[in-house]
Copies of this chain bind each other. A is one copy, B any other.
Amino acid sequence: MHDNDFSLFQLSLQQRAASVEMLLSELLSDRPQSGEITRPPRLLAAMRHGVLNGGKRLRPFLVMESAALFGADNSAALRVAAALECIHSYSLVHDDLPAMDNDDLRRGQPTVHRKFDEAAAILAGDSLLTYAFELVASEATEISAQARLSLITELARSAGIGGMTGGQTLDLEAEKVKPDEQGIIRLQAMKTGALIRFACEAGAIIGNADQRERECLAEYGSAIGLAFQLADDLLDVTSDAGNMGKATGKDVAAGKATLVSIHGIEWTKRQLSGLVEQAQLLLEPFGEKAGLLKEAARFIAERKN
């Protein structure tokens, strides 16, 4: 492990996070925008609480770094990154609801329905989801009309019934009937994998990459998406609530089947190493420019929270 590279990656992740946070804070201001009648303060506050929460902003980082591989305009990539973070955040706001995972804490802060109420959390999630599509469709970006439409199509597919919300449904069902190994893999590819894969593919779309390059980035996204979930399952059994900023040991307590519960901790660590290697190999054609994305794969697999 090269400590210098790792620090460079973390610095870059923080910089990207700060820029996406700043843009989101500006966009979610109390000034109504063209075509809007007014922005009700309580709904806006609930949206802001849901999205401006000091998250790692890993998905925005992946969009921006992937786009940079192809020399894409930075502010265009930033806007798509912000939209993706709105989608990711909405999914957490709804996932935390009493009818879903019933969580009181998210990154050490009260969840939206605990700080406001359930209705506000439902509507804030809906509003963030809706706003994400407005952001990508908007004229304000340097992205061609055709590329914006591709981004919207892929984003909706990754987030909808055949992707994230489908995966959340399978996840809830898995608490009642334990899925087999293939079932777990499919569930995770949908619930968390699809959006991470989209993040990487989005960079290629923004950068007008050719089909081969776009598939390469999507494959890289699939590999690190799977690594992300394996690391998450591993942390659920090895970490404590202080590190995670949310409840841990929940999977075990709920008797939930994960690849860790089937194959054990050592197998999972070997899998993670393999996925990092695979992800990094996929980036070889891009040479040194892909250095931070290679580090991202390692960070995802080895993260402690």
Contacts and interface: CB of A to CB of B under 8 A. Distances in A.
Interface string A155-172: 011111111011011101
A122 B153 CA distance: 22
What is the copy number of this chain in the assembly? 2
A215 interface: no
Nearest to A122: B94
Contacts of A120: 169
A165 B39 contact: no
A170 B118 CA distance: 15
Nearest to A136: B152
Contacts of A149: 137, 139, 145, 148-149
A264 to B, nearest CB: 26
Q: Which applies to chain A's interface (DSSP): helix, strand, loop or mixed?
A: helix
A297 B152 CA distance: 34
Given A43-B169, A133-B152, 19 more contacts: A36-B162, A37-B194, A38-B186, A39-B161, A39-B162, A40-B173, A42-B173, A94-B126, A99-B119, A100-B122, A119-B172, A123-B169, A127-B160, A127-B166, A130-B159, A130-B165, A134-B157, A137-B153, A145-B145
